[in-house]
Structure 1
Amino acid sequence: MTSSNFAIVDRYLASELSARALALALSRGWVDSLLERERLDAAELAGQGRMAAEAARAVLDLLTAAGVVELDGGYRLTTGFRQALAARDLLEAKLWFANVVAPDVHEHFEALLTDVPRFMAKARVFELFRYDRCLEVTPENLAATRRWVGYTTTLTKYEAPAALARLDLAGHSSMLDVGGNSGEFARQACTLVPHLQASVFDLPVVCALGREHVAQFAEGARVRFLAGDLRGQDLPRGHDLVSFKSVLHDWPEDHAAAFLGKAVEVLEPGGRLVVFERGPLRLDGAPLSYAMVANLVFLPFFRSPEFYVEVLAGLGMADIAVDWIELEMPFFLVTARKVAR
């Protein structure tokens, strides 16, 4: 699972029209039928999709232009798209979220670039990420939170290997993943290091969903969830590795710095702190794919690693290093060691 997964998937999310045609084909069962039966003609697909023949042909034209299907004695999935389906969960997650955020970008593009508070007040996507719904475990709050936790879990499934491959985890025995969501990042770390025990600190509803997620895996038994709210609580002690994966960009600089301070305070002497985040978007003159609209909506929140380096240095951390990782956009890994006193 490397950057190639993102490149293969994003190829089929290049334009909004082709992406929406693909979403329709998935929802109407066309993709699954073509996987089962190899070839189908336009009339069969129209009938299955409960569409008029003209509408089905328009969708098929878009899918053909996008390289999803080809006409060869009937419509069939291309070899390239079949390869993309190896990461179908990633494809569907990115497709879903791009289509969720696109209306906000369309309607409030100027505010996105010039007035972030106004954009956040108007953009409907932020209703999805409601932390106030994560404090009390109720059926309603679980349902409201499940979709975005599922989305971020899928992203982490494909992002985490690139970061974990660059960390020497063998010397660590106890990991604390702050804001660790479903526990996917911690779970993958436990897969790599059989003796590692991991704790995930997150809001109560997120922890409840995380317990469901890690229970599917053998190594999930080594991932425990500690429900809390970092805004008003201290972190638990007793860990020689503390990580923040795609968490700190959600918060203003003063909050992010305070959270790092809490992590350094509880980190065992000689232990290591890790920040894995998206960096500022670099276009380099290239056209922006529709797949990137999901990241464009968070454009104002992506910081350079220098902010974290400065904060950690001010907290007395040593051996601070930055490692850039290219996935579907630039990521960076900041690592630092707590000096043993």
Structure 2
Amino acid sequence: MSADPDLTLDDLTPILFGHAAFQYLNAGCELGLFALLAREPDLTRENVRDGLGLADRAVDVLLLGTTSLRLTTRVEGRYRNAPVIDQLVREGRWENFANVVAFEAHIVYEGQADFVESLRDNTNVGLRRIRGTGRDLYHRFAENPHLERVFYRYMRSWSELANPLLLQKVDFGRVKKVLDVGGGDAVNAIALAGEHPHLEVTVLEIPATGPIARRRIADSGLSDRVSVHECDIFRDPFPTGADCVLFSHQLVIWEPEQNVELLRRAHEALPPGGQTVIFSSISDDDGDGPLMAALDSVYFAALPAEGGMIYAWRQYEEWLREAGFTRIHRLPCAAWTPHGIIAATK
């Protein structure tokens, strides 16, 4: 296999101005450019200006950026969305994608300015940019209602984009009860219970998030099979009685020692033959990609908690063995996101 070509000066441009490139993507979402062009393709500059209520200079700046980045195209003076954006709209995934953009803009962007200091100090220095006294990002949301709404819209959207992989790859047919550790607003639990009518799911979450999850569960009509157990996952024992413990987008937040502790708690709560399922973005064992895993690690290193990143397959396997699990196997997922699944048995 031939090696990748060397980086060029032209290649450096989107890296050097990456922060500016994101601003065009976010502006196109927040100002409604992409939504406008989805409804009415082939608009002139003047149509876009009037449709968005922008001044002449502002629309020129916006369209210069989105078209240069190929987010929009211009043919004979008329603008359309990039085909991939129209595809997301057609497939009903655009709102999910836009919620991820909003999360990056309103929560990640400012905190990652402390990425260098976070690496120097080996801790999440960027948390200082989030108002509040909680020990991590999640314990500060109660003091930041707007950010809380942005985060849970993002987390629900990210999970909705990824959860089809979990449902396709993992056989829950013989599982009776699942503990969803750090299950947020119950998006995973609702998906699992909706797909498997025999399944009961308990969401483990902090007290501040419990009411949010219960409302979502009630709205889904699944309160008879999906419940919420409020606890501190590092201090309180996991409830017993489940035969599967799910860590979905959870272990990327914490330091390796904390992940081993959480997996030990799962091992203690499970009966013999019970399994733990880790579903998350995962990096390659060689430490050279995927690119999205590397870029996403900036957030986990700088902001939510004291340590975290998109960890490699081998690291999860080491932690599972240390926690007492056996019969560990990988379930790679071919997708736009770098998701993977690791299942292990007690």
Q: Match for 1:323: what amino acid? A: L
CA contact (8 A) 2:131 2:144 kept: no
The residue type equivalent to 2:101 in the other structure is L
Structure 1 residues 75-224: aligned runs within 5 Å: 75-85=79-89, 86-100=92-106, 101-105=108-112, 107-117=113-123, 120-122=124-126, 130-133=137-140, 140=143, 143-219=146-222, 221-224=224-227
Amino acid across the alignment from 2:100: K
AA partner of residue 196 (structure 1): L
Question: For residues 314 and 48 of structure 1, do their structure 2 counterparts lie closer, same or farther at Cα, with a shift above 3 Å needed?
Answer: closer
Give, in whole Å, the separation in 2 of the partners of 1:131 and 1:26.
Answer: 25
Give the counterpart letter for 1:210 in structure 2.
A
SS of corresponding position for 1:263: helix
Select between 22-31 and 264-273 the one with higher mean Cα deviation.
22-31
| Aligned partners of 2:181 and 2:204 also within 8 Å | yes
Deviations 1:213-245 (A, max 9, x none): 333434465211111111221111111111111
Structure 1 position 322 matched with structure 2 position 330 = yes
CA change 1:75–1:308 in 2 (3 A) is closer
After the TM superposition, which of the residue ranges 308-317 and 208-217 deviates more from structure 2?
308-317
**SS of equivalent to 1:176:** strand
SS of equivalent to 2:247: strand
| Cα pair distance change 1:127/1:302, threshold 3 Å | farther
Residue number among 270, 276, 280 corresponding to 2:279 in the alignment: 276
8 A Cα contact 2:244 2:274, kept in partner: yes
Which runs of 5 or more residues in structure 2 are unaligned?
A: 1-16, 302-307
Q: Which residue of the partner structure matches residue 53 of structure 1?
A: 56
Stretch of structure 1 that moved more, 41-50 or 149-158: 41-50
Equivalent AA in structure 2 for residue 95 of structure 1: V
> How far apart in 1 are the matches of 2:186 and 2:310?
23
Distance 1:314 1:26, change over 3 A: closer
Deviation at 1:56, TM superposition (A): 0.8
Within 2, Cα distance between the matches of 1:257 and 1:285? 24
For residues 274 and 44 of structure 1, the distance between their equivalents in structure 2, rounded to whole angstroms, comes to 50
Quote the residue 1:331 is aligned against: 339
Q: Is contact 1:149-1:206 (8 Å) kept?
A: no
Q: Residues of 1 paired with 2:275 and 2:131: CA distance? A: 35
**Within 2, Cα distance between the matches of 1:64 and 1:315?**
51
CA distance in 1 between counterparts of 2:180 and 2:202 reads 6
Q: Are the aligned partners of 2:131 and 2:140 in contact in 1 as well (CA < 8 Å)?
A: no
Partner of 2:5: none
Q: Distance in 2 between matches of 1:70 and 1:214?
A: 45
Equivalent pair of 2:263/2:320 in contact (CA under 8 Å)? yes
Secondary structure of the residue aligned to 1:270 is: coil
* TM-aligned CA distance change 1:210 to 1:39, over 3 Å: same
Answer yes or no: is the 8 Å Cα contact 1:145–1:206 preserved in 2. Answer: no
Question: Which of 286, 297, 300 pairs up with 2:299?
Answer: 297
- Greater shift in the superposed pair: 266-275 or 38-47: 38-47
Amino acid at match of 2:265: K
2:46 is matched with: 43
Q: Is the 8 A contact 1:215 1:221 kept in 2?
A: no
Alignment-mate amino acid for residue 338 of structure 2: P
C-alpha distance 73-108 of structure 1, shift in aligned 2 (>3 A): closer
Deviation at 1:16, TM superposition (A): 4.4
Superposition TM-score, scaled by structure 1 size = 0.79
Once residues 169 and 327 of structure 2 are traced to their aligned partners in structure 1, the CA distance between those partners, rounded to angstroms, is 15
Question: Residue 268 of structure 1 aligns to a residue in which SS?
Answer: coil
Give RMSD over aligned pairs.
3.2
Amino acid at match of 1:83: Q
Which consecutive unaligned segments of at least 5 residues does structure 1 have?
1-13
Q: Which amino acid aligns with 1:131?
A: Y
CA distance in 2, matches of 1:72, 1:91: 29
Q: Secondary structure at the match of 1:298?
A: helix
Q: Is the 8 A contact 2:297 2:309 kept in 1?
A: no
**For each residue in 1:12-52, what CA deviation from the matched residue of structure 2 results, as whole angstroms up to 9, or x when unmatched?**
xx954444223223323333333334443222322343332
